[in-house]
Amino acid sequence: KAGVTQTPRYLIKTRGQQVTLSCSPISGHRSVSWYQQTPGQGLQFLFEYFSETQRNKGNFPGRFSGRQFSNSRSEMNVSTLELGDSALYLCASSSLGGNEKLFFGSGTQLSVL
Amino acid sequence: GENVEQHPSTLSVQEGDSAVIKCTYSDSASNYFPWYKQELGKRPQLIIDIRSNVGEKKDQRIAVTLNKTAKHFSLHITETQPEDSAVYFCAASYNTGNQFYFGTGTSLTVIP
């Protein structure tokens, strides 16, 4: 099976722009969750989608949004980018989405200038 | 919400020695505690996990212990090897979805 695929691998944006990140889960996995990773902060939960519905949401501003398509692929959008949004964005998939092993993608490294 | 604290932030050991990383959590409802290893430039990968109905779990050189009363859990790596060098993250979860609260990570260096 192919692993979790995230595109693009790197992104450079300027403040005020918006960005869309994509994640393709492992075939058959219905849960996709997104995490922001920054040095010293660890991984912070953004949101989780299961069967096209947002099931859980972390404490991030409304500028961060996401969606999931019928094929379980997920996108994350960040509008009105700020310098502090610079981070590695990881998505993770799992089959059932209930306290189980997460399979992470390689991440999208976002730099906001 | 849940808060997970992890210590130490950095750890250096001699090859062959043991390494211990400790985490505490705040919400007694948490019932699943995984540990992830992230090598430099790579994605996090699950190395071991434990559920709240178990006190200890072992997998070869790796073990995890859980003390629900004290709300802390620990990762133990014995006979460390240079390939164990990585950042280790603990996490806790308590709901039916995949919302995990991660610690801030421990950078482990095994000195040959």
- Considering CB atoms only, which of B43, B91, B98 is closest to A97? B98
- Checking if the pLDDT of A41 tops 90, the result is no
Neighboring chain A residues of B51 at a CB cutoff of 8 Å = 99
Q: What pLDDT shows up at residue A113?
A: 96
- Can the peptide bond before residue A8 be classed as cis, meaning omega within 30 degrees of 0? yes
Q: Which residues of B touch A94 (CB under 8 A)?
A: 98
Enter the tokens of residue B63.
Answer: 């073990």
Supply the pLDDT for residue A97.
66
Reported as a pLDDT band with limits 50, 70 and 90, residue B19 is: very high
Cβ distance B29 to B94 under 8 Å? yes
